Amino acid sequence: MAAPPKKAFPLRLDPALHAAVERSAAGDLRSVNAQVECLLREALARRGVKLAPPDRRKRGRPPTEQED
């Protein structure tokens, strides 16, 4: 079963804030987008908002189809 597509939207950030998120993302080996999502989840958890865990995409090559 495929996961529902992620919601895309424009986000305007102060350049200094973006630079800080970019540095944080690099330190955690994440993209800026993944870092923003992680930071939002952490902030919501601190406020007591419960979310379902994120869908983890399988990494690597998809399995090849074998013909009989």
pLDDT tens for 27-54 read 999 999 999 999 999 999 999 999 888 7
Q: Is residue 19 assigned to a domain?
A: yes
Residue 8 CB-half CA count within 13 A: 1
pTM above 0.75, yes or no: no
Q: Tokens 């999502």 appear where? A: 37
Find, among 30, 43, 45, 36, the residue nearest to 12 by Cα. Answer: 36
Q: Is residue 66 assigned to a domain?
A: no
Q: How many domains does the chain divide into? A: 1
Structure tokens at 13: 């950030």
| Dihedral sign (CA 39, 48, 2, 67) | positive
Q: Is residue 39 assigned to a domain?
A: yes
Domain that holds residue 20: 15-46
